[in-house]
Chain A
């Protein structure tokens, strides 16, 4: 396992974070990941094919994600390859989310951003 996979504390690249996020609730194929990320960010983040699959390849090698053992039941195309998040991937995602939360809290303290959650 590489350092990134072991959660060495470095911030993740945004594409890795979004891919992990996209896989957090369901196994998806590449097209599905790209669509989920684009939707979730309101079209701000669009993963191109090179960026997405280079990241997928590295994350597979680092053990953050894996090929899904079988196609998800709701899979729209059984010929497509599905990816699922692994235990280490999920841990890393949580760490990163917590880190971002701390960053956000700090920003809020300094009143850089306002409360977005309903109180």
Chain B
């Protein structure tokens, strides 16, 4: 009998508290009554019967009890302590109340509000600005129909390590004919084309094209027609398709423009079509003329063309790639000399346009996101600190009947107000900052014109605001709302509800801040080292006080090479007479420029290589003054002279690294080589080495000097040359005189691409400088925020321990002991943060790899330096309150307690 009622006592525990607590006693009473009455019947097995009855009852009622308790708690959660089904108006009124209350609270704590809003504005502003760039450059689709289907096809050579070389026209024809995955393909060369006869000579961006360029882009001509395949033959008709903008500007949108003539490159071209509005491929082109390539001179080994293509519907770049690989192998077998070691490389157009900057921009976006996280952590810390001073207020509210939900809602409203104000201000900052950012942006940043604050960017900022409000608002709100009323009220006057939990979340925030700051610092440090390596590079030439520009003689008027040579010779003579000009020279293939020619090279005193495997080298065509103008040192022999003319013995000057490679132990002067160029020039040798000059970094800043061959312009004359003019230091006003010089010689020759050589070099380090500058700014902001956060926390800790410290000092503790005490407490999260941060930095730095020069991603010395830097700054931030703590007069401290 007793056992049955004891059993029920145990079973009672199985019931939900919502039933057990109010009714447990009565239930037990009822159970005992049952047992008692069963016993009174005196029947055998009474105890068993009551036990069975109670078990039965429990089995039936337990599920019901639980389901009703769950239902209850659900309906309670839906309307916490409020009357059920609050009306919409009611809710809005509450929200407005919260809003008013939040604004009043912030007005009462202007220092806090300002600090929080500025911190957030900085975070949101920087993020919005960087995101606008990412959005404009990377996220917006290219402005073509179905841009995903557009690809570039390059020639490549695994042996030479080239991946994006130009294509020969016969190879292009095979690609057009034989790759099922390619719907249409067109070859082009982008050129500045000289237009004359419409006023002053002008260079217009343009291209020579094979055919079908508009078809590749699925565009139809606005007027007339596109260039036809049959027009792309040697001595074919001279026709031109003009751009829509060019048509508007130069022909006033004349609908009868088709059939008129336009003088391009000195020859009359018939206008056969107008391109659709906005079409300007490649690189802003407004004029398209047929290539008119002579395939007898320029065959499969004549790599001239960039190829853009459209994938067939449903075809993937991968499919095109494997088809192209098969074709390349077949062509290599069929043309072993011309197509030796040649593959085709199919890359999406988008990748070609933005691939170079994607990594850098994404790294910046990640970095600026970290800054925002740190900003959030700081504001959360501020809110936590404020929370301690407000726990009294919250306790009062909750004692007066505010539910936890209401308190959380109100605190979140405060966070939302802070985030919104910070976000709005951040958006303003972004608006101002974006212009500055774009001015800093490296010259080569593609699609920069798309970078604006648009709906995407606004949505991003809005999202950022919501996320950060939740991030920094929710934790303190939940923490604060949990404060029990009685505990807080009794303590509120003494201002400390601290507790381990809050210290934990506080130090977690600090660890995160320190770790993130260290990662940013490390990234900035790596870029700084790259940058200093880049600027310390010995170029091999003197970039100071050199003006460069391009001259392009209209082909039709300068068909005779002697005319070209004569022009440049007279021009250089004339410019030398201008006061302030020290030296002048011209070159085809200037250092760090994009134009260059290459030739097959055969050393006559060596065994000839098998056909198709000749050495290929860049050749630079120069006038006699070139090396002197750039101060490229002459190491042996002589430079070019005006005597190195057409018709006399052919002379070349070679670079030191060519000597190192091919004539290491011999005198190179007098050695002879043969050049082979696939088209255009008569290069029959032999060419004799007459001089050796120093190496220069000609291809790019970061690639090592390679063997180079200089050829005298008089012996390989071309009408397109880059002119370098060295002026006396500080002289800048020679340009007008140079212009007059050209006008006097030939008014139809435009002057373009005017730039200081130093700017060209600068441009090469531009991207690194850009990323470095932004990362350095982000890192500095991050470290400053982290330092402020640490300072605040250390100061808070000291203020909380004033009394304890006073006692210690009164009992004879040395000031140094006190400082150590505070430092140790403050430094713990810092050390954890440094450990985490170093791990993160090491892993994250791999992402930077492509942006680095001569520095390994996980560079140890950089890690040590930035760690030391961070420790110094945050150490100072902690040391300040620690020092103050050591000065606490014991009497005062004790009184305070």
Binding site for B on A (CB under 8 A): 29-31, 34, 46, 48-54, 56-58, 61, 80-81
B26 pairs with A48, CB closer than 8 A:
no
CB-defined contacts of B15 to chain A, threshold 8 Å: 50
B65 pairs with A54, CB closer than 8 A:
yes
Chain B positions 23-45 with a Cβ under 8 Å from a chain A Cβ: 23, 26-31, 33-34
A51 pairs with B29, CB closer than 8 A:
no
Measured CB to CB, the closest approach of chain B to A3, in angstroms, equals 13
CB-defined contacts of A56 to chain B, threshold 8 Å: 23
Measured CB to CB, the closest approach of chain A to B489, in angstroms, equals 32
Closest to A61 in B: B72
B68 pairs with A58, CB closer than 8 A:
yes
B58 pairs with A50, CB closer than 8 A:
yes
Closest to B8 in A: A49
CB-defined contacts of B8 to chain A, threshold 8 Å: 49
Measured CB to CB, the closest approach of chain A to B10, in angstroms, equals 13
Known A46-B53, A48-B53; contact A54-B30, beta-carbon cutoff 8 A? no
A50 pairs with B65, CB closer than 8 A:
yes
CB-defined contacts of B34 to chain A, threshold 8 Å: 46, 48-49
Question: B54 at interface (Cβ–Cβ under 8 A)?
Answer: yes
A50 pairs with B68, CB closer than 8 A:
no
> What are 14 inter-chain pairs, A to B, with CB distance below 8 A?
A29-B26, A30-B29, A31-B29, A31-B30, A48-B54, A49-B57, A50-B27, A50-B61, A50-B62, A51-B57, A53-B19, A53-B30, A54-B61, A57-B68
Known A30-B26, A30-B30, A31-B30; contact A50-B72, beta-carbon cutoff 8 A? no
The complex places the Cα of A81 from the Cα of B61 at a distance, in Å, of 21
Question: B703 at interface (Cβ–Cβ under 8 A)?
Answer: no
Closest to A52 in B: B30
The complex places the Cα of A46 from the Cα of B41 at a distance, in Å, of 15
Closest to A57 in B: B19
Selected from B26, B53, B54, B64, the residue in CB contact (under 8 A) with A54 is B64
B22 pairs with A57, CB closer than 8 A:
yes
Closest to A13 in B: B64
Closest to A81 in B: B26
CB-defined contacts of B29 to chain A, threshold 8 Å: 30-31
Closest to A60 in B: B22
Measured CB to CB, the closest approach of chain B to A47, in angstroms, equals 8
CB-defined contacts of A30 to chain B, threshold 8 Å: 23, 26-27, 29-30
Question: B661 at interface (Cβ–Cβ under 8 A)?
Answer: no
Selected from B26, B53, B54, B72, the residue in CB contact (under 8 A) with A53 is B26
The complex places the Cα of A53 from the Cα of B64 at a distance, in Å, of 11
Chain B positions 58-93 with a Cβ under 8 Å from a chain A Cβ: 58, 60-62, 64-65, 68, 72
Q: A-B pairs with CB below 8 Å: how many?
A: 66
A48 pairs with B56, CB closer than 8 A:
yes
Measured CB to CB, the closest approach of chain A to B198, in angstroms, equals 87
B27 pairs with A53, CB closer than 8 A:
yes
CB-defined contacts of B54 to chain A, threshold 8 Å: 48-49
The complex places the Cα of A34 from the Cα of B27 at a distance, in Å, of 11
A31 pairs with B58, CB closer than 8 A:
no
The complex places the Cα of A56 from the Cα of B68 at a distance, in Å, of 12
CB-defined contacts of A80 to chain B, threshold 8 Å: 26
CB-defined contacts of B27 to chain A, threshold 8 Å: 30, 49-50, 52-53
Chain B positions 729-762 with a Cβ under 8 Å from a chain A Cβ: none
Measured CB to CB, the closest approach of chain A to B8, in angstroms, equals 7
B68 pairs with A54, CB closer than 8 A:
yes
Closest to A53 in B: B23
CB-defined contacts of A48 to chain B, threshold 8 Å: 30-31, 34, 53-54, 56-58, 60-61
The complex places the Cα of A39 from the Cα of B8 at a distance, in Å, of 24
Q: For the side of the interface on B, what is the size category?
A: 20 to 34
CB-defined contacts of B60 to chain A, threshold 8 Å: 48, 50-51
Closest to A33 in B: B30
The complex places the Cα of A46 from the Cα of B53 at a distance, in Å, of 9
CB-defined contacts of B65 to chain A, threshold 8 Å: 50, 54
| Interface pairs A-B: 9 shortest CB-CB | A48-B57, A50-B61, A49-B27, A53-B23, A49-B30, A51-B61, A54-B65, A30-B26, A49-B31
A34 pairs with B72, CB closer than 8 A:
no
A34 pairs with B19, CB closer than 8 A:
no
The complex places the Cα of A10 from the Cα of B57 at a distance, in Å, of 24
The complex places the Cα of A103 from the Cα of B68 at a distance, in Å, of 29
The complex places the Cα of A81 from the Cα of B22 at a distance, in Å, of 11
Measured CB to CB, the closest approach of chain A to B59, in angstroms, equals 9
Measured CB to CB, the closest approach of chain A to B682, in angstroms, equals 103
Q: Mark B381-411, 1 if CB is under 8 A from A, else 0.
A: 0000000000000000000000000000000
The complex places the Cα of A92 from the Cα of B142 at a distance, in Å, of 72
Closest to B28 in A: A49
The complex places the Cα of A50 from the Cα of B30 at a distance, in Å, of 10
The complex places the Cα of A46 from the Cα of B57 at a distance, in Å, of 10
The complex places the Cα of A80 from the Cα of B25 at a distance, in Å, of 10
CB-defined contacts of B30 to chain A, threshold 8 Å: 30-31, 34, 48-49, 52-53
Chain B positions 532-572 with a Cβ under 8 Å from a chain A Cβ: none
CB-defined contacts of B68 to chain A, threshold 8 Å: 54, 57-58
The complex places the Cα of A30 from the Cα of B58 at a distance, in Å, of 17
Q: Mark B4-30, 1 if CB is under 8 A from A, else 0.
A: 000010000001001100110011111
The complex places the Cα of A51 from the Cα of B60 at a distance, in Å, of 7
The complex places the Cα of A61 from the Cα of B30 at a distance, in Å, of 21
The complex places the Cα of A16 from the Cα of B64 at a distance, in Å, of 13
Measured CB to CB, the closest approach of chain A to B52, in angstroms, equals 11
The complex places the Cα of A61 from the Cα of B75 at a distance, in Å, of 12
The complex places the Cα of A50 from the Cα of B11 at a distance, in Å, of 10
Measured CB to CB, the closest approach of chain A to B51, in angstroms, equals 12
A54 pairs with B31, CB closer than 8 A:
no
Closest to B20 in A: A53
The complex places the Cα of A29 from the Cα of B56 at a distance, in Å, of 23
CB-defined contacts of B28 to chain A, threshold 8 Å: 49
The complex places the Cα of A45 from the Cα of B257 at a distance, in Å, of 105
CB-defined contacts of A58 to chain B, threshold 8 Å: 68
Question: Could you list 9 further interchain pairs (A-B, Cβ under 8 angstroms) beyond the known A48-B60, A53-B30, A54-B61?
Answer: A30-B29, A31-B26, A31-B29, A48-B30, A48-B54, A48-B61, A49-B8, A49-B28, A49-B54
The complex places the Cα of A54 from the Cα of B20 at a distance, in Å, of 10
CB-defined contacts of A50 to chain B, threshold 8 Å: 15, 27, 57-58, 60-62, 65
Measured CB to CB, the closest approach of chain A to B153, in angstroms, equals 72
Closest to A80 in B: B26
Closest to B72 in A: A61
CB-defined contacts of A46 to chain B, threshold 8 Å: 34, 53
Measured CB to CB, the closest approach of chain A to B28, in angstroms, equals 7
The complex places the Cα of A46 from the Cα of B56 at a distance, in Å, of 11
Measured CB to CB, the closest approach of chain B to A77, in angstroms, equals 10
The complex places the Cα of A56 from the Cα of B64 at a distance, in Å, of 12
Closest to B53 in A: A48
Measured CB to CB, the closest approach of chain A to B325, in angstroms, equals 72
Measured CB to CB, the closest approach of chain B to A80, in angstroms, equals 8
Measured CB to CB, the closest approach of chain B to A40, in angstroms, equals 16
A31 pairs with B33, CB closer than 8 A:
yes
The complex places the Cα of A57 from the Cα of B18 at a distance, in Å, of 9
Chain B positions 345-379 with a Cβ under 8 Å from a chain A Cβ: none
The complex places the Cα of A48 from the Cα of B37 at a distance, in Å, of 13
Closest to B56 in A: A48
The complex places the Cα of A111 from the Cα of B226 at a distance, in Å, of 99
Measured CB to CB, the closest approach of chain A to B39, in angstroms, equals 15
The complex places the Cα of A58 from the Cα of B8 at a distance, in Å, of 22
CB-defined contacts of B56 to chain A, threshold 8 Å: 48
Measured CB to CB, the closest approach of chain A to B7, in angstroms, equals 12
